[in-house]
Amino acid sequence: MSPATKRTARTLIQGAVGLALALPAIVDASGIPASLPWVAGALAVAGGLARVMALPSVEALLDRVGLGLVDEEAPRS
């Protein structure tokens, strides 16, 4: 997998996590009652996802599936 493809996949994952982090504020601003079962479930999943993505073992998992951080190859002269 090319470095550009890896970066794209990681960006999509990070975007999902960012949305998960923003979900409580979105729900609050929209005026939807947080006590609705589907809203409460979505908020719980969002919080769990944000917590899991902060673990070092997640980076290790991304490395195993080929989405680990990569450095650009140095240009050859």
Residue 50 falls within a domain, yes or no?
yes
Residue 48 falls within a domain, yes or no?
yes
Residue 60: count of CB within 10 angstroms of its CB:
10
Nearest to 69 by CA among 18, 6, 4, 13: 6
The pTM of the full predicted model, rounded to 2 decimals, is 0.51
Residue 45 falls within a domain, yes or no?
yes
Q: How confident is the model at residue 47 (pLDDT cuts 50, 70, 90)?
A: confident
Rounded CA-CA distance 75/64 in Å is: 26
What are the tens digits of pLDDT across the range 64-76? Answer: 888 776 655 555 5
The answer to whether residue 38 scores a pLDDT higher than 60 is yes
Residue 56 falls within a domain, yes or no?
yes
Residue 10 falls within a domain, yes or no?
no
Q: Which domain holds residue 52?
A: 34-67
Structural domains in the chain (count): 1
Query: What local confidence, expressed as pLDDT, does residue 70 receive?
Result: 62
Tokens 């002269």, located at residue: 77
What are the tens digits of pLDDT across the range 16-36? Answer: 877 877 888 888 888 888 778
Residue 47 falls within a domain, yes or no?
yes
Query: What local confidence, expressed as pLDDT, does residue 72 receive?
Result: 57
